[in-house]
Structure formats: structure tokens, C-alpha cells
Amino acid sequence: MSERLEPLTIDVISDVVCPWCYIGKKQLEQALALWTSRNPDKPTPVVRWHPFQLNPTMPPEGMNRSDYLQAKFGDPKGGPGYLRVIAATEAAGLPFNPQSIARQPNTLRAHALMAAALEPPTQQALAAALFTAYFVDGVNIGDPQSLADIGKACGLDREAIDTALSTESLQSVGARDDQVRRMGISGVPFFIFGEKVGVSGAQGTEALLDAMDRVPAQAS
């Protein structure tokens, strides 16, 4: 009897308001498609998302977007620094409507919603929906009702959504964020392949594919 291989695990530490994480997600999807086509005999990798708040001191209600850009870039419209971010998303072939974003949200609730998704495909769908809601549609993804609508559209039931947005859940996700920082991770996206190989930043599809190839296969 031949040994059955364990699926490769890919842990993604990111924030849904981070443009480099938005780009990194696209790069990971491309790397996964290439890796799967080159390894048809291996099980499909399992992608798991983990919380990291880009702005951990953001007020729960968020703040005006122009005030945030002023504080971060010294310009209420973002200035040259933000133009580079916009150019990078365009180069990655991603839609981005920065003018639609009126509110810079606290993302703890969004992370809690993703943590409530017990199945990786649902978590993937939520990640995609949250990135699109923020970067394309300008949705305030710190707003509980907006998050409930997104969660429902991705297949979460009302009980799961209410539990995700509870005080206890938010405290748990905040603790996980703190744990990630104690591991020494201070910037996102950060990818961990097979719990062995790490890649920091949106380095490109080939860098992610190389990391996947460097993880030895494990038999169950």
C-alpha cells in the first residue's frame, strides 16, 4: 500500500486593510495554481488565515480616512507614498478604488469573523470578500452589520456571526494577534509553508512557489 501524503499547510498572517496583503493574496493564488498543476499527485494545500492588525491602536469605531492618510503619509490624500501603493495594486492586476474608502476601520471584528469560519474554503471566501469590500467597494468592514452581511453571503449562519462578533471572541482574536507579534512577526503579509518555511512580504509568485517546493512531503 502506498503512503498517503498530508496536504501542505499554508498559514497566512495578514490584515484585510493592508494593500500588500491584498497583493500577496493574489500572488499566493497564482502560486497555488502553478504548484497544483505541477504536482497533480499531491493533495490540495490547505490555506489558513491568521489575524494581524495593521493598526492595533485604531479606535473601535475607526477614523476618517483622510485623517488616517494625513497621519500615515503626511497628506490627506496619501501623497507620493500612497501613489506607490496604488501603482503596485494596479501592476498586480487588482481592482482598487481608493476614492471609495471613507472610513479607516478597526479590523478586529473582521478577523474574528474569519476565525469563525471552521472550513478553509469558507475562510478563503471571507478573505476574498473582505478585501473586495474594503479595496473595491469602500465598505466599512469594522461595522458589525456590514460584517454580518458579508459573513452571511459567504455561508456563515446567524449564530456563527453573532458568536464571532461577541466580546469573548474579539478578546480571543486580539490575544492571537499579540501571540503573532511575540513570534517576532512585525509586518504582513507573512506566509508559513508546512510550518517550516517562512516568506515575509509580497515578494511575488515565484518566491512563494519556491517556498512551497522547499517543504518536504509528509506521509500520514
Domain count, the chain: 1
Q: Output the CA–CA distances (angstroms, integers) from residue 101 to 64, 133, 170, in the order listed.
A: 9, 10, 24
124 is in which domain, residue-wise? 9-213
Q: Are 154 and 113 in contact (CB under 8 A)?
A: no
Give domain status of residue 4, yes or no.
no
At 219 the three-state DSSP class reads: strand
44 secondary structure, DSSP code: P
What are the grid coordinates assigned to 17, written together? 486593510
CB atoms near residue 26 (< 10 Å): 17
How far lies 66's CA from each of 57, 72, 96, 170, 213, in Å?
Answer: 17, 10, 17, 27, 42
Does 20 reside within a domain?
Answer: yes
pTM of the model: 0.94
Whether residue 1 lies inside any domain: the answer is no
Residue 218 placed within a domain? no
Q: Which amino acid is at 216?
A: P
Q: Is the pLDDT of residue 14 over 50?
A: yes
Amino acid 81: pLDDT: 82
**152 or 2, higher pLDDT:** 152
Q: pLDDT at position 82, please?
A: 86
Instruction: Determine the pLDDT at residue 217.
Output: 66
Asked whether residue 62 is domain-assigned, the answer is yes
CATH code, domain carrying 145: 3.40.30.10
Q: What is the pLDDT of residue 3?
A: 62
The answer to whether residue 219 is domain-embedded is no
122: nearest Cα among 64, 176, 48, 55: 48
**2 in a structural domain:** no
Which residue(s) pair with 5 in the sheet? 219
User: C-alpha angle 53/112/86, rounded to 5°?
Assistant: 45
Could you give the CA distance from residue 52 to residue 214 in angstroms, rounded to a whole number? Answer: 25
Instruction: Check pLDDT > 50 for residue 220.
Output: no
pLDDT for position 78:
87
Q: Is residue 16 part of a domain?
A: yes
Whether residue 109 contacts residue 142, with contact meaning beta carbons closer than 8 Å, is answered with: yes
